[in-house]
Amino acid sequence: MLDPASIKALTFDVFGTVVDWRGSIARDLGDYFAQRKPPIEADWAKFADRWRKKYQPAMERVRSGNRGFVKLDVLHLENLRENLAEFSIAGLSEAEIDHVNRVWHRLDPWPDSVPGMTRLRKRFVLASLSNGNVSLMVDMAKRAGLPWDAILGSETARAFKPQPEAYLRAAEMLSLAPAECLMVAAHNSDLHAAAKCGFRTAFIRRPYEYGAIKKYDLVADTGIDLDCADMNDLADKLGC
Amino acid sequence: MLDPASIKALTFDVFGTVVDWRGSIARDLGDYFAQRKPPIEADWAKFADRWRKKYQPAMERVRSGNRGFVKLDVLHLENLRENLAEFSIAGLSEAEIDHVNRVWHRLDPWPDSVPGMTRLRKRFVLASLSNGNVSLMVDMAKRAGLPWDAILGSETARAFKPQPEAYLRAAEMLSLAPAECLMVAAHNSDLHAAAKCGFRTAFIRRPYEYGAIKKYDLVADTGIDLDCADMNDLADKLGC
């Protein structure tokens, strides 16, 4: 059993957990390229899926030590160029490519995220613990009204999750023991990695992260402390 | 002339610029020790002054390389123990000493800080760029309602101002050129160091930072971009 009084801070995964990256990218790029002259047509949800699929391999090159730490914006841009080629989209200016790459700064929260987090923030410190870089998280939070107390994660730790440094450095910056931190994520692997570092864990169900219902990560694995329908359910379970 | 359109983020010195450390410490410790059993009497404003006086020499040992980076909380605690001895205050428990040390987490903003920063935040990214550690800044912001978009500064840079790394790493984390950042401080030396790194600069007049009117840092030195009466004046000057 998790005693809410033992928790001081909530650290959040962001892509998929707090924001709907796939739906947001499909909407944003769909509108942008429809209004472009000349317009460009594509299956933008599929474009988002393929772009996201290049995410873990790109970070893995950094995690494995084959490449020094770089911001996720840089990895996103490299992956975007590949993706554009694969979708046979050519002729974009560098300014257009930059605008498209920054779609990750313009993601919309799931409907329960801001209300649930606003309740949680009254009692706990809320920090992002994302592989996204600081400026990406700042732009996203300002646009979406995400109520962070601190932006932490890969860039402040200079390590990508699930490397232990990413979690441990966040706890250290909050001047907390890992057991005083509750990692909140829609992905069991993220929570298992946090738990190995001593964090407590809360799963948020996001069955439509990939559009159609997911085949995995539908519910919390055994050993995860809390299994929550959404952020409001997490606030309920923590007595906020 | 500073063109407000060239600025994307405001980075703030905090102790003295955003919050009234001396008045806050005098009030907080005065109340705390009056209610203690047995009570302890002292000139708590003088206590604050002496404590603060140990601040630069303690950081200098880190800046000079004679000591690895440590959080300001650690330096404050060491300096507090010395200060208690100098004021002949003995017999405090470790829990009491910890509570007293955390008075830096409980500082009150100057009256114009929250209203002025709230105006500024609508147009600019607001980040702390303080020598205070992250958890100190988070606790202070939550208690005082400071509207930060990001907590940056010494701990994220692992360097104390006026070391160039402290400023440059903040700009880098915001994904901005230094010239897109406006350093806001009540101390000319902080602004000169930021300007050397390419930041634009705004002085905030805090004549009563040390109680009686200061003998220096009353107005902006030559070369500082903006000389402001307070945060609302800065918001006016930036067209917010």
**Average pLDDT of chain B to the nearest whole number:** 97
**Residue A53 amino acid letter:** K
Q: What is the pLDDT of residue B86?
A: 97
Q: Confidence band (pLDDT; 50, 70, 90) for B215?
A: confident
| pLDDT (average), residues B213-237 | 96
| pLDDT (average), residues B193-206 | 98
Q: What is the pLDDT of residue B145?
A: 98
CATH of B21-105, one of 3.40.50.300, 3.40.710.10, 3.20.20.80, 1.10.150.240: 1.10.150.240
| CA separation for the pair B165, B161 (Å, rounded) | 8
Chain A residues touching residue B152 (CB < 8 angstroms): 134
Closest CA to B156 of B176, B136, B140: B136
Domain boundaries, chain B: 4-20+108-237, 21-105
With an 8 Å Cβ cutoff, is B73 touching chain A? yes
Provide block-wise average pLDDT over 10 residues at a time, chain A (240 residues). 96 98 98 97 97 95 94 98 97 98 98 98 98 98 98 95 97 98 98 98 96 90 98 98
In a mutational test of the B interface, the residue from A133, A134, A148 whose CB has the highest number of chain B CBs within 10 Å is A134
| CA separation for the pair B65, B222 (Å, rounded) | 32
Joined tokens for residue B129: 């760029």
- Percent of chain B with pLDDT strictly greater than 90: 97
Helix and strand element counts for chain A (H, E): 11, 6
| pLDDT (average), residues B56-61 | 94
ipTM metric: 0.96
With an 8 Å Cβ cutoff, is B173 touching chain A? yes
With an 8 Å Cβ cutoff, is B142 touching chain A? yes
Helices (H), A162-202: 164-173, 188-196
Q: What is the pLDDT of residue A46?
A: 97
CA separation (Å) from A40 to A19, A29, A59, A83? 26, 10, 29, 14
CATH number at B4-20+108-237:
3.40.50.1000
CATH architecture group of domain A4-20+107-237: 3-Layer(aba) Sandwich (3.40)
Across the A/B interface, how many CB contacts are shorter than 8 Å?
A: 54
With an 8 Å Cβ cutoff, is B174 touching chain A? yes
Nearest to A150 among B125, B151, B173 (CB): B151
In a mutational test of the B interface, the residue from A142, A158, A176 whose CB has the highest number of chain B CBs within 10 Å is A142
Q: What is the pLDDT of residue B171?
A: 98
Of all residues in chain A, the one with the smallest CA distance to B145 is A149
Q: What is the pLDDT of residue A52?
A: 96
| CA separation for the pair A10, A202 (Å, rounded) | 9
Q: Confidence band (pLDDT; 50, 70, 90) for B185?
A: very high
What are B128-149's pLDDT values in tens digits?
Answer: 999 999 999 999 999 999 999 9
| pLDDT (average), residues B55-78 | 95
Q: What is the pLDDT of residue A148?
A: 98
In a mutational test of the B interface, the residue from A149, A154, A180 whose CB has the highest number of chain B CBs within 10 Å is A149
Is the overall model pTM greater than 0.90, yes or no? yes
Helix pair B21-35, B94-101: axis angle to 10 deg = 150
Q: What is the pLDDT of residue B233?
A: 98
Q: Confidence band (pLDDT; 50, 70, 90) for B9?
A: very high
CA separation (Å) from A129 to A52, A166, A236, B220? 18, 8, 22, 39
What are B71-104's pLDDT values in tens digits?
Answer: 999 999 999 999 999 999 999 999 999 999 999 9
CA neighbours within 13 Å on the CB side: how many for B103? Answer: 27
